[in-house]
Each structure stands twice: as structure tokens, then as C-alpha cells.
């Protein structure tokens, strides 16, 4: 599955990626050198928890995608079977294109994780 | 001029950069080709969405065509993306002054002094606007606090509280007041597929709510603030700061949230499939309106 993340990281605008469990434990990571994967996964788990609470309490169901945009980059999270694929975006990322390109990667990961 | 234009056009094709696009658009304008300038700016915005100067040029083009509303929207976009846009603030000040909206004009002139203190032209303009504002009917003092404690969302228009961040809390009732600063929120909620929206402060308290979320406003505000905090924490861990927006798509709808000045979050509850880009424009206007005194 590492090869899937490595390929994903070659997509324009992707600055790293990782697969985490719903409670924020890192499963596979392909992050830039110097990024603390444990801390990143933990905060991502916290974020996913907040999203899940939002969906449940407002009766909106499960999370299909989550994206955050900051001044110097962003984050895109997609479900990948029992886990979540988190993609770190560079400021140059074309968000719409990245969403289209990322989904097949999430689907491939979901297939592998379900085996 | 033609050769310089061609040289720059090739440069943009091979080594695109925001500054090259801006220069190319300006040259197109000098060649009296506003259509081409507009196309260059649109392309620039697509590739470099945070480039404020492209919006300034689009604002100039709209002004030259007499489309003031459109120009205003473009210029507000420019200063939203680049708070230090001298040209953006100057033009906004001029547009508002022409509309006799001196308070707004002064607001943008003063923004310039934040990053360019002592600018003689701007200081002179501020004196001129202050004199004019003094001769015109005084606008309601929107930031004047009647209390420093939160009163919830059941009061009336006269009950304006101030959050710790200095942002006035309007009431839900205020949202229906015609001509109030929440008019743009009403416009946002009238968009197809938008169920409702709430503006929350960082403590998860409702600043103003509109639409079908009235019954759930407190819950949505609290959860939105919670998610904003989690998203900010995550982005900080990744070395990014200044969370601008977050969007979550659920099975039965989506929530889109936009931030202003790290103080307010506007959370929109919408049907699945509603286009975020369209709502973002409306949302930014809501946040600007709430922040303007």
C-alpha cells in the first residue's frame, strides 16, 4: 500500500499523504521528512472525531469527504474502507482536480484494506 | 509594446507566475484589450487563487465598464486575499466615497495606514473623508457596546453585545431587520440548496443565525467551533496557519465553513451537490458585512 501513497504524492499539489484509523492511529505514511507522523495522525483523529460528532448530532450521516484550506496549504480527507486517506495539499494545488485524482487512490486503498 | 506583450505571454506559458500574469493583464489593458486582460486574470485566479492583484485588475475593468457592483465584489475579493493590497483598498475607498459611504471609505483608507503608516496621500484623503463624513448623517454606531456580556440570541436589535474578540454579537431577530448588516446572510440563505447558516464565535456562541437552522443554531455553532478548533490544530501541526475554510460532505448534506480574522466562523448547512465556490463568494460578503462598522 506504500506504493499507492508514493504514486499519490507525485500528483501535482500533493505535499504528503497518510492512511489513518478512525481513532487517529497511523497505518501507512508517506510524509515529507521532518513531519511528525504521530502528532499529525493524532490531530487528524481529533478532526475526524469532531466531523463525526457534527454528522451524527445534526442527522447528516457519515463523512464522505473533509477538506480544510489555510493560507499556505490545506488538507483533504477521504474515506478508504475502514480507514481514512489524508492528503496534505500545497498552496499550488488545484483542489477540484485533486479531488478527482485522489478518489481512485482512496478506492484502491479501500480494496487493499478490505482484503 | 507588442513584442513585450508577446515575450511575457510566452513566459507565462512556460513559467507561469502570479506576477507575470498580473503584468500581462496590465499590458493587455494598456493595449486597450480589456477582454484579453480579463481572460488573463481569470486564468491567473484559477492557477493562483490567492493572488489579489488579478481581482484589482478585474475591478478596474468593471469600473471602466460602469459595473460598480461587480467592481465592488472584485475589489473586496482582492483585499480579502491580500489585506495589504494598496490598490485594492484605495479603489474601494474611491468607490465608497463616490457612493457617499464615507465610513466604509475611511475604513479602507485606514487599512492602508496599517501597513503603510504615514502615507501622505492617504492621510490627506482620510482628512477629506472625515470632513465629509462629519457633514453627512452619522451612521449607527454598530460597534458601540451596550454590555460586555453575551446575551444569547433571544434579545432584540438594540441588544448588541461584544465578544472577547471585539466582534459585535447580533441577535437572530436582527437577522430579519431589513437593510441591516445581515442582509447578505439572507441572500446567502436564499441560494438554491442552502438550508441555513450560522455565524459563531470561537467559543461556539451564536452571533447570528438564519434559515432552517434556527432550531439547531446553538448546536451547529458549538459543533462548528469545535471543528474549527480541531482543524486549526491539525493545520498548525502541519506548519500551516490561518485556517480559511473547511468543508465536510456527509451522506445527507454538507457543511461549509468560512473564517474571518480568526474570530468568526460562518457555517452553512446545505444539500449535497451545492457548489462550494458559489457559496464562498456569498459567505465572504457576509463576513465582510459583519465586520464593517
Q: Is B65 on the interface with A (CB under 8 A)?
A: no
Q: What is the pLDDT of residue A107?
A: 93
Q: Tell me which chain B residues have a C-beta less than 8 angstroms from the C-beta of A46.
A: 230, 233-234
The pLDDT tens digits of the residues spanning B156-170 come to 322 233 333 333 334
Question: B252 and chain A: CB distance < 8 Å anywhere?
Answer: yes
B290 vs A96: which has the higher pLDDT? A96
What CATH class has B2-135?
mainly alpha
The torsion angles phi and psi of A72, rounded to 5 degrees, stand at: -125, 40
Residue B131 burial (CB < 10 Å; 0-12/13-18/19+)?
A: exposed
For chain A, domains (ranges, CATH) are: 2-114 (3.30.450.30)
Confidence (pLDDT) at B202: 84
The single residue listed with the C-alpha cell 464562498 is B280
Q: What percent of chain B has pLDDT over 90?
A: 10
Residue A110 clears pLDDT 70, i.e. is over it: yes
CB contact under 8 A, A74 and B240: yes
* Higher pLDDT among residues B136 and B87, named by residue: B87
Structure confidence at residue A23 (pLDDT): 86
- Given a cut of 50, whether residue B119 has pLDDT beyond it is yes
Indicate yes or no: CB of A71 within 8 angstroms of CB of B269.
no
For range B8-23, the mean pLDDT: 83
CB contact under 8 A, B248 and A66: yes
Q: Report CB contact under 8 Å: B251, A64.
A: yes
Q: Is A70 within 8 Å of B242 (Cβ atoms)?
A: yes
The mean predicted confidence, pLDDT, of chain A is 89
CB contact under 8 A, B223 and A69: no
C-alpha separations of B170 from B74, B140, B143, B153 in Å: 27, 14, 10, 8
Measured distance CA(B14)–CA(A109) in Å, rounded = 35
Question: In three state form, how does the secondary structure of B217-285 look?
Answer: HHHHHHHHHHHHHHHHHHHHHCCCCCEEEEEEEECCEEEEEEEECCCEEEEEEECCCCCHHHHHHHHHH
Q: Does A36 touch chain B (CB under 8 A)?
A: yes
For the entire predicted model, the pTM comes to: 0.57
Domain regions of chain B by residue span:
2-135, 161-291
For residue B230, which residues of chain A lie inside 8 Å, CB to CB? 43, 46-47, 49-50
Q: Measure CB to CB from residue B248 to each of A49, A59, A63 and give the nearest one.
A: A63
Beta carbons of A71 and B50 less than 8 Å apart: yes
Instruction: Report the pLDDT averaged over residues A71-91.
Output: 90
pLDDT of residue B180: 53
Longest dimension (CA), chain B: 65
Give the pLDDT of residue B267.
92
In words, the CATH class of domain B161-291 is alpha beta
- Cα–Cα distance between B146 and B156 in angstroms, integer? 12
User: Within the 168-197 window of chain B, which residues sit less than 8 Å (CB to CB) from chain A?
Assistant: none
Closest by Cβ to A47, choosing from B47, B230, B250 = B230
pLDDT tens, B273-289? 888 888 888 888 888 87
Amino acid at each position: 500500500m506504500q506504493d499507492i501513497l508514493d504514486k499519490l504524492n507525485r500528483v501535482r499539489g500533493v505535499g504528503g499523504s497518510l492512511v489513518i484509523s478512525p481513532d487517529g492511529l497511523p497505518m501507512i505514511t508517506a510524509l515529507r521528512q521532518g513531519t511528525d507522523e504521530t502528532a499529525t495522525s493524532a490531530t487528524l483523529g481529533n478532526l475526524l472525531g469532531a466531523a463525526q460528532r457534527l454528522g451524527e448530532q445534526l442527522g447528516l450521516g457519515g463523512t464522505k469527504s473533509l477538506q480544510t484550506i489555510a493560507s499556505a496549504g490545506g488538507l483533504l480527507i477521504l474515506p478508504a474502507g475502514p480507514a481514512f486517506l489524508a492528503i496534505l495539499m500545497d498552496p499550488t494545488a488545484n483542489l477540484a482536480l485533486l479531488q478527482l485524482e485522489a478518489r481512485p487512490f482512496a478506492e484502491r486503498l479501500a480494496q487493499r484494506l478490505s482484503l | 509594446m507588442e513584442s513585450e506583450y508577446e515575450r511575457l505571454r510566452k513566459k507565462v506559458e512556460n513559467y507561469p507566475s502570479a506576477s507575470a500574469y498580473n503584468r500581462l493583464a496590465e499590458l493587455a489593458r494598456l493595449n486597450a484589450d480589456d477582454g484579453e486582460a480579463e481572460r488573463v486574470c481569470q486564468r491567473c485566479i484559477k492557477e493562483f487563487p490567492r493572488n489579489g492583484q488579478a481581482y484589482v485588475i478585474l475591478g478596474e475593468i468593471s469600473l471602466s465598464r460602469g459595473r460598480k457592483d461587480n467592481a465592488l465584489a472584485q475589489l473586496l475579493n482582492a483585499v480579502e486575499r491580500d489585506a495589504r493590497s494598496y490598490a485594492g483598498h484605495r479603489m474601494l475607498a474611491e468607490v465608497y466615497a463616490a457612493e457617499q459611504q464615507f465610513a466604509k471609505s475611511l475604513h479602507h483608507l485606514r487599512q492602508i495606514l496599517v501597513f503603510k503608516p504615514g502615507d501622505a496621500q492617504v492621510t490627506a484623503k482620510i482628512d477629506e473623508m472625515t470632513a465629509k463624513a462629519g457633514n453627512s448623517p452619522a451612521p449607527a454606531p454598530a460597534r458601540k457596546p451596550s454590555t460586555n456580556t453575551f446575551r444569547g440570541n433571544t434579545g432584540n436589535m438594540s441588544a448588541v453585545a461584544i465578544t472577547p474578540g471585539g466582534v459585535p454579537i447580533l441577535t437572530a431577530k436582527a437577522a430579519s431587520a431589513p437593510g441591516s448588516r445581515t442582509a447578505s446572510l439572507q441572500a446567502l440563505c436564499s441560494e438554491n440548496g442552502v438550508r441555513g447558516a450560522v455565524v459563531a464565535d470561537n467559543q461556539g456562541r451564536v452571533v447570528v443565525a438564519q434559515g432552517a437552522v434556527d432550531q439547531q443554531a446553538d448546536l451547529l455553532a458549538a459543533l462548528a467551533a469545535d471543528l474549527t478548533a480541531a482543524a486549526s490544530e491539525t493545520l498548525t501541526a502541519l506548519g500551516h496557519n490561518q485556517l480559511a475554510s473547511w468543508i465536510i460532505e456527509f451522506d445527507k448534506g454538507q457543511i461549509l465553513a468560512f473564517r474571518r480574522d480568526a474570530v468568526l466562523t460562518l457555517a452553512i448547512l446545505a444539500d449535497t451537490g451545492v457548489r462550494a465556490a458559489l457559496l464562498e463568494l456569498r459567505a465572504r460578503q457576509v463576513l465582510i458585512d459583519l465586520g464593517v462598522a
